[in-house]
Every structure is written in C-alpha cells, then in structure tokens.
C-alpha cells in the first residue's frame, strides 16, 4: 500500500468518525428546549469544572449578540490574544459554533470532544439537550486549549440558559425585543428579566438600553447585585452610519470615523457595545487604538447582511443574505434596504419558522420587493409556503409564488434577476445557511 492510499484510508476513517459524532449530536435534537442549569452543573462537575479555568465575556440579548461577539473576538485577536468564540446557531456546519482565533474546531477535535461527552452522559445517566451538549463542548475545548478569553453567546434568554454557568469578567446585554415569548414572557419587562439573569454579583454590565421597559429592569438587577451598569447613551456613546462609527468612551475618549466591517446602521450600536466592553477589559486585555481601527475593518459575520456576487448566465447576480428572524431583525433589514438600495429592484426569497409572528415588520419588507418567493428551510419547524401564502394580503399575493425547495426557490430568483437587481434571502438563519451553502459552496469549512 502506498502513502497516498494510506492517506485516503485515514481521511475516510476520520470522515466517518466525524459524521458519527455529528449524527449523535443531532440525535439530541429530540430533547427539546429545557431551561435550567441542574444538568449542566452535574456534567461540568464530571468534566472537572472547565468553566472555572476560563476568563469569559458573557453576552445575552434578542438581537446583536453574534455581532457583538464576533466584533470583540476580532478586536482581541488583532491585539494578539488567543480568543475562543462560542455562538449559535450555525449556518451550514456545526463546527462554526466553536472557534479559536477565527478558526473553527477541526473534525478530529470535534469528534474527540463528542465521544468524551457521550461517555460522560452514559456514565452519569443524564440526558442533556443539543444546546447543553454544544455548550459543554465549547467550555471543555476552550479550557483544554487554554484560550486567553472565551466569548460566550447565550442561546435563549439568560437566567436559565445553559451558558449561564460562568462567572464572567463582563456581562453584555444587547437590544431586547419580543422573541421566544412562550419561554421568556409576553412583554419586554419579562424578557429583560430573563436576559438580566446573566448578571453576576459585582461583575460589570454593558447594556444597549434601547427598548422601552427594559432599562428599569436591568438597572434594578444590577443595583441589587452590586454590579456597575454601563449604559449606551449615558456612560458611552456610539453614532454614525453605514461603514463608520464615532465613539465616545467611558473614560471620555473620542474616536472619529472608525471603520465598520459589518453592514447596517444597527451595527453602530453593536460596535459601541463591543468597544465599551473592551474598555472594561483593558487592564487584562489591552487593545491599542490602531488595533481597534484595524480590527473593526476586518470584522465579518456570515449570513448577517452578507453581500455575495456570483456568476450566472454570462453576467453577475447580487445576493444579500440576512438572518433576520424576528420583528426587530426585519425592521433593521428594512432600514438598511431603504438606506442602501433605494431604486434597486429587490427579489425576496423568504421563509420563517412556524412560531414566529412579525406581520407588521414583514409587510414593510414585502412592500419593498418586486417579487416574493416563499420557501421552507426545515420540514419540522419552518412554516410551509402554503401557510405563508395564506397570511399574505391580496397585493402581496399578486407578486408572490410558492416553491418548497430552497434550491429551486433560489434558482427561480436567479432567473428573475438581472445584473442590477438584488436577491435578498431572509426570514431564518436556517434558510440563510441553506442558501449560502448552495450559492457559495467554496465557503465550506476545512477539515
């Protein structure tokens, strides 16, 4: 057997091992959302409490968590620190959730981690959920790799979220709006109380405070726990537009025309939260003004206001992928389209999860589109094209069609568009992930 054949066999064996590990993780999807920390605490004890060996930043909120997290990770990495980043959900490959210094976990390490966790689950007799398992993997892998800092994004809420087993250096709470009401509450104050659950005694808190009814809740939690609250608009300021940020810091720094790598006016707020967090971390993790400027320009977050240009029929097609999946996210998308794309034909490929209710924001978006293609990213949880069709008003129906297959929906959009139009794919991150994998397969992760 020659060396090339041996390499092929080794690669095949590794691939099979990885597929088995991923299949096992997916099997945990059967165990639905379970709010509470009892299982996490028992399993972390079995792992030797890896979270206690980590210095963390913990981020909660309805919208902007991922943008703040990736911005922080990029800036800290620019300064030479070893940074672990845990986010959810993934777009295409589960390994996107676990990243160190911009590089996702490789298949070998992922497989080893899942296999070790599976043995622990069997020995303990405990049955974690999918998200509990991925959180355990992140904490254990980051500790093993001895990252300088771990940036952790909550999955749902905060108080009972699986990530809420850490005592961070800073807690960050982004914009709060209505989402997951069946778990978090029907009004902003109730949802804010769940998000405030990540606040720990004496640990500083950075908060955007832009939703009515949330500031009083967060202030009350912070005061009771003796945690200093840094509020956008009061303790620091972030202003600007697409592509630029003017930031006035906690200590009075005044930085003008900072570049923003992420698209959308709402990213001004998210970058401001990240910079305020960096100020609080400065004693342990100093980042120079030049590193901040360079880092902000480098920030990228796939599937979030991500523009693609692909060749099609001897010309180009322009696509915008945006994972807007709740009312506030769709409102931000509409604002960006009105600001950046006025006068341009927009062909919308849309599919949302069945439990999402965003009629008003969605109607504003649909009014901007010349064509609407309704599709379905997931059979179990996504609304069917027929159900979406039935919710449309007559004017929307006149420009809409139903195509169940995401890939066929995208092909239909490519056929409708010319080189000047914009194809916008939105409604859920699952849909955006499917679209990105189809339109840009070269973006697949390495082994």
Using a 10 angstrom Cβ sphere, with 0-12 exposed, 13-18 middle and 19 or more buried, the burial of residue 67 is buried
**Beta bridge partner(s), residue 173:** 60, 207
Q: At 203, is the pLDDT very low, low, confident or very high (cuts 50, 70, 90)? A: very high
Kindly state the helix (H) or strand (E) to which residue 294 belongs, with its residue range: helix 289-298
Burial annotation 132-164 (CB, 10 A radius, 16+ → b, else e) = bbbbbbbbbbbbeeebbbbbbbbbbbbbbbbbb
pLDDT tens sequence across 308-332: 999 999 999 999 999 887 888 899 8
Contact yes or no for 213/189 (Cβ under 8 A): yes
pLDDT tens sequence across 69-126: 999 999 999 999 999 999 999 999 999 999 999 999 999 999 999 999 999 999 999 9
pLDDT tens sequence across 163-175: 999 999 999 999 9
pLDDT on residue 444: 66
Lowest-confidence segment of 379-383, 407-411, 427-431 by average pLDDT: 379-383
d(Cα 92, Cα 179) in Å, to the nearest integer?
Answer: 23
pLDDT on residue 1: 43
d(Cα 368, Cα 267) in Å, to the nearest integer?
Answer: 22
Q: Which residues contact 312 (CB under 8 A, 6 or more apart)?
A: 414
- Mean pLDDT over residues 364-389, rounded? 92
Beta strands in 313-437 (DSSP E): 315-322, 346-350, 371-374, 400-402, 422-426
Using a 10 angstrom Cβ sphere, with 0-12 exposed, 13-18 middle and 19 or more buried, the burial of residue 415 is exposed
What's the pTM? Answer: 0.91
């Amino acid at each position: 057997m020659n060396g090339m054949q041996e390499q092929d066999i080794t690669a095949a064996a590794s691939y099979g091992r990885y597929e088995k590990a991923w299949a096992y993780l997916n099997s945990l999807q059967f165990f639905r959302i379970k709010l509470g920390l009892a299982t996490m605490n028992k399993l972390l004890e079995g792992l030797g409490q890896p979270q206690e060996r980590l210095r963390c930043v913990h981020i909660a909120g309805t919208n902007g968590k991922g943008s703040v997290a990736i911005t922080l990770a990029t800036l800290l990495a620019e300064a030479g620190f070893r940074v672990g980043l845990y986010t959810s959900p993934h777009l295409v490959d589960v390994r996107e959730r676990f990243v160190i210094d911009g590089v996702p976990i490789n298949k070998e390490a992922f497989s080893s981690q899942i296999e070790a966790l599976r043995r622990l689950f069997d020995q303990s007799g405990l049955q974690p959920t999918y998200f509990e398992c991925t959180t355990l993997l992140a904490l254990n892998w980051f500790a093993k790799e001895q990252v300088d800092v771990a940036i952790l994004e909550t999955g749902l809420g905060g108080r009972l979220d699986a990530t809420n087993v850490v005592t961070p250096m800073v807690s960050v709470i982004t914009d709060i709006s209505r989402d997951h009401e069946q778990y978090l509450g029907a009004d902003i104050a109730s949802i804010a109380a769940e998000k405030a659950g990540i606040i720990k005694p004496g640990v500083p808190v950075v908060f955007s405070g832009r939703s009515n009814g949330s500031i009083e809740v967060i202030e009350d939690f912070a005061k009771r726990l003796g945690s200093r609250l840094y509020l956008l608009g009061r303790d620091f300021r972030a202003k600007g537009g697409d592509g630029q940020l003017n930031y006035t810091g906690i200590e009075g720094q005044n930085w003008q025309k900072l570049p923003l790598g992420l698209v959308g006016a709402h990213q001004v707020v998210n970058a401001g939260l990240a910079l305020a967090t960096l100020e609080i971390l400065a004693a342990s993790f100093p980042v120079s003004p030049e590193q901040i400027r360079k880092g902000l320009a480098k920030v990228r977050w796939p599937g979030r206001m991500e523009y693609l240009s692909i060749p099609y029929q001897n010309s180009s097609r322009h696509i915008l992928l945006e994972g807007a999946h709740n009312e506030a996210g769709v409102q931000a998308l509409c604002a960006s389209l009105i600001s950046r794309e006025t006068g341009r034909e927009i062909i919308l490929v849309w599919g949302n999860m069945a439990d999402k209710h965003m009629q008003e924001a969605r109607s504003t978006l649909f009014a901007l589109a010349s064509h609407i293609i309704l599709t379905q990213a997931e059979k179990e949880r996504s609304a069917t094209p027929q159900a979406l069709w039935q919710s449309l008003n007559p004017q929307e129906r006149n420009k809409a069609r139903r195509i169940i297959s995401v890939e066929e929906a995208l092909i239909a959009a490519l056929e409708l568009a010319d080189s000047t139009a914009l194809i916008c794919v939105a409604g859920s991150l699952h849909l955006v992930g499917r679209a990105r994998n189809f339109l840009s397969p070269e973006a697949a992760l390495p082994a």
